[in-house]
Structure 1
Amino acid sequence: MAITFIAIILFIFSILYAIKFSQYYHNGTPSIRRLPPGPKPWPLIGCLPAMLSNKNLPTYQWIHEVMKQFNTEIACIRLGSNTHIIPVASPELSLEFLNTHDSVFGSRSISMTAEIVSNGYLSTVLSPMGEQWKKMRKILVSQVLNLPTLHQMVGQRTDEADILLRYIFGLTRNGEAINIRSIVRHYCGTVIRRMIFSRRYYGKGREDGGPSLEEEDHNQALLSILRHVNAFSISEFIPLLKKFDLDGHEKIVKRALKVIRNNDEPIIEERVQDWRDGKKKKAEDILDILISLKNENGKSLLSIEEIKAQVTDLQLASIDNPSNAVEWALAELLNQPKIIQKAVEELDKVIGRDRLVQECDIPNLMYLTACIRESFRLHPFSPFNVPHVSNSDVFVAGYFIPRGSQVLLSRLGLGRNPRIWEDPMRFDPERHLKDGTIKFGISEPSLRFITFTRGRRGCIGTSLGTNITMMLFARLLQGFSWSLPPETPEINYYSRTDELSLPKPLHLHAVPRLSHVMYY
């Protein structure tokens, strides 16, 4: 009886699918509603069998292989019964999606992991279009990431840059190789933590300024979430399987989120109570700003759950790209000594050795900016941007994009597109100086590669992201001469296929290049 029932259900779904699919294909040929090229999907399950049969490849590589197979910079891959994945590797098409049709592709995908991380879609980045997203975005633009607030907190960011130099200087005394990945992630984490909470440690901390276990666990949890949120989970594409966490992504995200909440929520709850009790009356950091906001009735504009979700959102947005770009930039520079020499010469010429580089110097460091642009282009932390979901049917470049499609701008496909970039796998900062795009800083408005994207879903924290990345990179190069350990004659960049970060954390020797008094 049960088998008969299941067979009937599957038959009904097959009929419905055949009717829907006939919109796009007629007698085996594309209809007037022509989808972008891609593999022909199976009824009900789409291209999931093909995706699952390539388990030796990460899903993002399989998607890029599909695009290569069809020789296209835009594809359509249907997963499940009705989810169209539209990967895009063309800057012109990317602009058409996010500029010409920005209002259509302004929403986000609904997924188990995104809902968990955003506390039920209460924050900004992962929330679908709607009043909640508009409310949170307005707060970030007008109160949190605006220029007056960023200027108010420049002292905290500068202090972190000073502590960074002092910490590395202390490590140089024992002559051991320094773990660059640990340093850059700790710096990004502490900068945003200082701005949000006015503190750099969750526990007792360390006198030398280095990361404690709590901070390392917190950073790892953030990065784990970034790798798994909105990942290609089978359970997301087949409704009957949604309650089964077949890929384990939901479990991983919940475990990572527990680490974050165990550290952050006691601070948030205590601060909220301080404001209620009148112990706090002046906003001194981002958390204070979020708590002190009032609505037209004089009551708290944000609930404590909204504050918690937005705090997590800000931390997720601050750690991955800056740390990854700087680690890769150092690795590439050490592979080409002439490039690192030019970068250091620029620092000595523009800044000198009698003072430390500051945020106000960043616009004058053209060559260093070119190095970071090139690192973002060639070595993105993630293969795609956060999905842009269409809220209506639309035609883009002659292709029919159905409502609910998830458009994925390919960070890899754009940054390594041989039609756009000459010798795309070569690290060459000069290309950004020659084509004049250096005037945009590390932004890329033409979407030839992705840093902050654009449109209503573009990154609100462009200025902050630029300052964190460039200050970290500039201070490391100004403060120290870097070299590979004797046992590491070269860096093996591409020994792994499943990660976009360096296969192993970068370990380098450092020698101070400034007067010792500068480090204190």
Structure 2
Amino acid sequence: MVIQMVLLRDLFAAATLFFITRYFIRLIISKPRRLPPGPKGWPIVGALPLLGKMPHVALFELARKHGPVMYLKMGTCGMVVASTPDAARAFLKTLDLNFSNRPPNAGATHIAYDAQDMVFAEYGPRWKLLRKLSNLHLLGGKALEEWAIVREIELGHMIRAMCESTRRVEPVVVPDMLTYAMANMIGQIILSRRVFVSTGDESNEFKDMVVELMTSAGFFNIGDFIPSIAWMDLQGIEGGMKKLHKKWDALITKMISDHKKSAHERKGKPDFLDVIFANRENSEGERLSDINIKALLLNLFSAGTDTSSSIIEWALAEMVKNPTIFRKAHAEMDEVIGRNRRLQESDIPKLPYLQAICKETYRKHPSTPLNLPRVSSEACEVNGYYIPKNTRLSVNIWGIGRDPNVWENPLDFTPERFLSGRNAKIDPRGNDFELIPFGAGRRICAGTRMGIVLVEFILGTLVHSFDWKIPTGTELNMDEAFGLALQKAIPLSAMVTPRLAPAAYLA
């Protein structure tokens, strides 16, 4: 018995020595797992208090100190921030598949039907089906051509309404006007009807819902980073999201119900929603539920109206601030188009200065200042730094656009920078990481093509059709309001004067 106990003791000691030795050998021969540099932050909450009310600006300043790949402890979660084109390329191109999912968050849960939409859905068969149907029948090149007439008609409605405002000597509130017009464009394509017959309380409420969605979804919610206290809703964000979701769900439910009742009116002319219901199942057996379809409509009506309208509003504000840009744009358009007709989409390739204005706005005022967050599926390495599994990724698109190492005089609004030299070939569609307003990689914004078409066509039409001035006695405010989309803190309000032949506004 004693001998057995001695043998067991010696065996246990030998095993312990073996595992300790192996551990230290691994420690010696393995590469050190070095996290990217970053601020220390506070106990428990980490770097959350450092972000303030303008996280994109705070992260830009922190990156200047800590480097292009920066690691922050955010509550119990880790977050890595990419702040240069090369860093963005490493994450969104080289490691694209590893960062193809979104982290869980309150916005996806409480607004987007528990991530049943296209924006927050897990990368997989359901997401691919949502994306495929959207590209084929709404957002892709062929679909955009088919629906060009809708954009032209709705823009005509907007132009004529603006002419009416000039007769009443009233300023045009740009974001209200744009949201109303874009919602009707999308409504015509998705539902075969205008969402709003006229501007008024209903359309204003819709705009408020869109802005609230984009603002609340952009918040850094403490509960997302410290899940154990999420139930407390310390900032009141989740309660607001739940109330907002009820409003959106009621609106979308009514849209679908009215659409089904009018099915007989669309015999042989199916719209986007008809196509979605008819093709809701793919060859892999993945089937879209009614909730998936409602969540997709939520994406299209919110992101489809807000992101493009914010870009157009910023562009007009920058041009009003610098009338020389307006004069150059008018001169180009008058030469190519003249003043006897409205701008058409086919004119845009002949208007390089207009396209340069759009690119310069994407650079200085990207609609999503921090690319929608992603999360690492597995541990990986970037620039020699170890990135653990389940690390959140933010790409500071706004910061890249303001980087003096990338752009000359980045705080100036200078469209000419895109007319010659190395910048002339830069394209905003996700391959040139100096300018990625829509993101990049497989989770690039699904509406990239549509967004570019809308911005160029609508902005071009507004510039060509009118002279713009700030109302007498007011000042132009260029402050930002942070959210999922980067809004102007004070909406642009301007007096417009028609500059084309009267018949051009009747077309």
Provide TM-score, normalisation by structure 1: 0.85
Q: By how many angstroms is 1:500 displaced?
A: 4.6
Q: Assess if the C-alpha contact under 8 Å between 2:111 and 2:241 holds in 1.
A: yes
> Aligned residue for 1:493?
478
> Structure 2: how far apart are the matches of 1:381 and 1:368?
18
CA 324–134 in structure 1, closer or farther in 2 if over 3 Å, else same: same
> Aligned residue for 1:451?
437
CA 241–274 in structure 1, closer or farther in 2 if over 3 Å, else same: same
> Aligned residue for 1:380?
366
> Structure 2: how far apart are the matches of 1:230 and 1:109?
13
> Aligned residue for 1:420?
406
2:84 to 81, 90, 93: 90
What one-letter code is carried by the residue in structure 2 that aligns with 1:234?
Answer: I
Alignment of 1:244-393 (within 5 A): 244-272=232-260, 281-293=267-279, 295=281, 301-393=287-379
> Aligned residue for 1:10?
none
Q: By how many angstroms is 1:41 displaced?
A: 5.5
Does residue 406 of structure 1 match 2:361?
A: no
CA 149–443 in structure 1, closer or farther in 2 if over 3 Å, else same: closer
> Aligned residue for 1:217?
205
2:99 to 102, 105, 111: 105
Does residue 481 of structure 1 match 2:470?
A: no
2:63 to 67, 70, 77: 67
> Aligned residue for 2:21?
none
1:470 to 448, 451, 456: 456
Q: Which one is further off, 136-145 or 266-275?
A: 266-275
What one-letter code is carried by the residue in structure 1 that aligns with 2:69?
Answer: I
Q: By how many angstroms is 1:279 displaced?
A: 7.0
Q: Assess if the C-alpha contact under 8 Å between 2:52 and 2:58 holds in 1.
A: no
Q: By how many angstroms is 1:59 displaced?
A: 3.8
Q: By how many angstroms is 1:122 displaced?
A: 1.9
Q: Assess if the C-alpha contact under 8 Å between 2:154 and 2:184 holds in 1.
A: yes
CA 294–228 in structure 1, closer or farther in 2 if over 3 Å, else same: closer
What one-letter code is carried by the residue in structure 2 that aligns with 1:465?
Answer: G
What one-letter code is carried by the residue in structure 2 that aligns with 1:78?
Answer: K
> Structure 2: how far apart are the matches of 1:441 and 1:193?
29
Q: Unpaired runs of 5+ in structure 2?
A: 1-26
What one-letter code is carried by the residue in structure 2 that aligns with 1:86?
Answer: V
Alignment of 1:127-138 (within 5 A): 127-138=121-132
Can you list the C-alpha shifts for 1:49-87, whole angstroms capped at 9, x where unaligned? x533x58644444433432343x1221111122x21111
Q: By how many angstroms is 1:245 displaced?
A: 1.6
> Aligned residue for 1:76?
71
Q: CA RMSD in A?
A: 2.8
What one-letter code is carried by the residue in structure 2 that aligns with 1:165?
Answer: I
> Aligned residue for 1:190?
184
Q: By how many angstroms is 1:131 displaced?
A: 2.7
Q: By how many angstroms is 1:504 displaced?
A: 1.4
Does residue 174 of structure 1 match 2:171?
A: no
> Aligned residue for 1:226?
214
1:241 to 195, 219, 229: 229
Does residue 431 of structure 1 match 2:386?
A: no
Provide TM-score, normalisation by structure 2: 0.87
What one-letter code is carried by the residue in structure 2 that aligns with 1:68?
Answer: R
Q: Which one is further off, 351-360 or 400-409?
A: 351-360
Q: By how many angstroms is 1:46 displaced?
A: 5.2
> Structure 2: how far apart are the matches of 1:127 and 1:169?
43
Can you list the C-alpha shifts for 1:17-72, whole angstroms capped at 9, x where unaligned? xxxxxxxxx9xxxx7111111123667x251xx533x58644444433432343x1
Higher helix share: 2
> Structure 1: how far apart are the matches of 2:427 and 2:458?
15
What one-letter code is carried by the residue in structure 2 that aligns with 1:366?
Answer: P
> Structure 2: how far apart are the matches of 1:154 and 1:438?
27
Q: By how many angstroms is 1:337 displaced?
A: 1.7
> Structure 2: how far apart are the matches of 1:220 and 1:495?
17
CA 421–42 in structure 1, closer or farther in 2 if over 3 Å, else same: same
CA 196–375 in structure 1, closer or farther in 2 if over 3 Å, else same: same
What one-letter code is carried by the residue in structure 2 that aligns with 1:38?
Answer: G
**How many corresponding residue pairs?**
478
Q: Unpaired runs of 5+ in structure 1?
A: 1-25
